């Protein structure tokens, strides 16, 4: 049995399969070996799910995405299972009632859980409308933060929501939040809210905003600022150590003409209340994808589009908590703020499933093609972990920094240096100047062969033009496969590449020390000159340059 998102057009592979499909056998293996993928002890089919039988499968709707199950089990087994998956039976009990092998039910449940069709529990709070709680339960899989609707609502209740009354929009917002099951209170001033509460301000004056910030200071209280300016609904990021301070936020709102009170006669009030409530609901209940976690979300109703504006903390601002001289945030700083990882308690565990997506698994095997270049093995000694000459030491260094534990016919990619998603983003180009037993020139390390592709000569003149300090026996240039990582991690790709490069550099320096030579970081180099010489572009940027010396000397005792 296989599954795919039925809302997407399947991409045919050369082997006749469909890219993006996940099969039950793969997910059964994951459920048994990966704690994050374990199936519930008493699984339940998502409440309110709609099942549409097909000649060769099933379409299941009602969750975050329409799912298509196909294969023989999707027509012969799954329809019989659904009524029994009510949260009261274990997998063996379901299998016994259906008179089928337990492993078949376990595999089907593992795949269905991956698709968001299984919930760990049907528990729901008594004070929330059943249809509302069921709708929430159908979307728990979007983040996998909570096992049941009851726990999601209980978590929100531990930090009560308070809407500061400021006209008709705040009243409509309070009503919308209550209809969603979130017990929001309407208060006249921020001071009436609990200090550790979740305070919502709509179109409030600057003095009221600062009063709210002072009220929650020193606690885990949150201030959420939003508003409606003509035909634009906006929602600012919540106050935290990771987001912009209130003074800088107010300056930004003034600059983009979003600040100001809300007109009670605006015909978009009810729509604005619903849009604001939806964002708050996603954040407080831990489902879906909140869009204003660390950015300013603007819904332009007249244009029919939404946009996210990054509002970074300001360097040198005491309120933002960043020391130094006050300057406008540079672009690298803005990206670092935009691509920040969420706090641990807000991490969506659903993202872990992306590692099992077939296209992402295939990315682990991706590498650059140097089939037209001569390939050379430096670590020819069978006992490569204990090199005795300069050539073997250089080969061992490259393998420890960029290579694999096993070479040849392997079924699992196991790297020495940890990388995000096991994609092996760091790539090494070694420029050999004076290493015994190695012809001078530039070589690119090939991890799946443990060989180096010869890129040609690299004269001292061209080296000095790219790297000012060149008094080394060899120079190792660490680049990164940004394009490969972007296919899986999207906007986080560059941040992950930097983390991967840092891990690889640390691994290289430790290996050099163990083998008895030195690996020294070079502080300045010419990106353009190196990229031109290696045939790289902005998708393979240089992350670090390391000077190697002492290879030709006597190594340490191994």
Residue 5: per-residue pLDDT? 62
Residue 280: per-residue pLDDT? 97
Question: Cβ contacts of residue 108 below 8 Å, gap of 6+?
Answer: 1, 24, 73, 77, 78, 81
pTM here is 0.82
User: Domains of the chain, with CATH numbers?
Assistant: 24-119 (3.90.930.60), 133-343 (3.40.50.720), 363-549 (3.40.109.10)
DSSP string, 206-260: HHHHHHHHHHHTTTT-EEEEEEEETTEEEEPPPPSTTS--HHHHHHHHHHTT--S
In 3D, which of 354, 362, 537, 364 has the Cα closest to residue 447? 364
The answer to whether 456 touches 441, Cβ cutoff 8 Å, is yes
Residue 397: per-residue pLDDT? 95
In 3D, which of 510, 456, 501, 495 has the Cα closest to residue 478? 501
DSSP annotation of 61 reads: E
Residue 2: per-residue pLDDT? 73
Lowest-confidence region among 122-131, 240-249, 336-345, 418-427: 336-345
Grouping H, G, I as helix, E, B as strand and the rest as coil, residue 462 is helix
Residue 192 reports pLDDT greater than 80: yes
Q: b/e for 502-519, b at 16 or more Cβ within 10 A?
A: ebbbebbbebbebbbbbb
Residue 155 reports pLDDT greater than 90: yes
Tens of pLDDT, residue by residue over 41-85, are 999 999 999 999 999 899 999 988 999 999 899 999 999 999 999
Lowest-confidence region among 138-142, 333-337, 482-486: 333-337
Tens of pLDDT, residue by residue over 90-117, are 999 999 999 999 999 999 999 999 999 9
Question: Cβ contacts of residue 233 below 8 Å, gap of 6+?
Answer: 226, 227, 268, 271, 272, 275, 276, 298, 299, 301
Band (pLDDT 50/70/90 cuts) for residue 15 is very low
- The mean pLDDT of the chain is 89
Band (pLDDT 50/70/90 cuts) for residue 328 is confident
Band (pLDDT 50/70/90 cuts) for residue 18 is very low
Grouping H, G, I as helix, E, B as strand and the rest as coil, residue 153 is helix
Lowest-confidence region among 144-148, 366-370, 533-537: 533-537
Lowest-confidence region among 165-179, 184-198, 342-356, 487-501: 342-356
Residue 177: per-residue pLDDT? 97
Lowest-confidence region among 26-30, 106-110, 281-285, 533-537: 533-537
């Amino acid at each position: 049995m296989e599954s795919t998102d039925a809302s997407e057009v399947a991409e045919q592979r050369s082997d006749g399969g469909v890219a993006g499909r996940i099969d039950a056998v793969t997910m059964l293996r994951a459920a048994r070996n990966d704690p994050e993928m374990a199936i519930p002890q008493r699984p339940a089919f998502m409440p309110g799910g709609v099942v549409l039988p097909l000649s060769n499968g099933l379409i299941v709707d009602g969750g975050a995405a329409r799912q298509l199950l196909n294969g023989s089990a999707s027509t012969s087994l799954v329809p019989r299972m659904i009524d029994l998956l009510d949260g009261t039976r274990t997998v063996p009990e379901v299998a016994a009632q259906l008179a089928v092998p337990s492993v078949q039910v376990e595999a089907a449940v593992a795949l269905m859980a991956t698709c968001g069709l299984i919930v760990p529990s049907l528990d729901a709070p008594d004070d929330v409308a059943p249809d509302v709680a069921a709708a929430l339960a159908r979307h728990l899989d979007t983040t996998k933060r909570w096992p049941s609707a009851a726990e999601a609502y209980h978590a929100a209740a531990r930090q009560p929501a308070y809407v500061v009354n400021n006209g008709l929009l705040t009243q409509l917002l309070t009503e919308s939040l209550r209809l969603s099951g979130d017990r929001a209170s309407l208060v006249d001033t921020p001071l009436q809210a609990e200090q550790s509460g979740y305070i919502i301000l709509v179109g409030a004056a600057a003095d009221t905003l600062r009063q709210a910030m002072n009220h929650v200071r020193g606690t885990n209280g949150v201030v959420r600022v939003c508003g409606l300016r003509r035909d634009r609904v906006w929602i600012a990021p919540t106050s935290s150590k990771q987001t912009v301070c209130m003074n800088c936020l107010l300056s930004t709102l003034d600059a983009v003409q979003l600040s100001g009170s809300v007109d009670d006669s605006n015909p978009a009030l009810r729509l604005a209340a619903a849009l604001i409530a939806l964002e708050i609901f996603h954040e407080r209940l831990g489902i879906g994808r909140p869009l204003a976690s660390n950015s300013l979300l603007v819904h332009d109703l007249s244009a029919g589009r939404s946009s996210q504006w990054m509002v970074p903390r300001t360097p040198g601002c005491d309120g933002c908590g960043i020391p130094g001289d006050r300057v406008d945030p540079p672009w690298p700083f803005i990206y670092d703020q935009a691509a920040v990882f969420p706090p641990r308690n807000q991490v969506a565990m659903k993202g872990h499933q992306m590692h099992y997506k077939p296209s992402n698994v295939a990315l682990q095997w991706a590498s650059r093609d140097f089939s037209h270049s001569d390939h050379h093995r430096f670590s020819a000694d069978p006992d490569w972990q204990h090199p005795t000459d300069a050539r073997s030491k250089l080969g061992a260094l490259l393998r420890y920094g960029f290579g694999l534990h096993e070479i040849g016919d392997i079924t699992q990619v196991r790297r020495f240096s940890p990388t995000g998603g096991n994609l092996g983003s760091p790539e090494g180009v070694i420029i050999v100047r004076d290493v015994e037993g190695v012809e001078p020139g530039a070589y690119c390390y090939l991890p799946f062969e443990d060989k180096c592709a010869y890129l040609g000569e690299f004269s001292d003149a061209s080296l000095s033009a790219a790297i000012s300090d060149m008094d080394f026996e060899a120079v190792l240039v660490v680049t990164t496969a940004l394009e490969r990582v972007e296919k899986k991690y999207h906007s986080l790709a560059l941040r992950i590449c930097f983390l991967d490069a840092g891990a690889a550099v640390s691994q290289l320096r430790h290996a050099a020390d163990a083998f008895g030579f030195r690996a020294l970081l070079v502080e300045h180099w010419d990106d353009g000159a190196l990229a031109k010489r290696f045939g790289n572009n902005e998708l393979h940027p240089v992350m670090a340059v390391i000077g190697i010396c002492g290879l030709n000397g006597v190594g340490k005792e191994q």
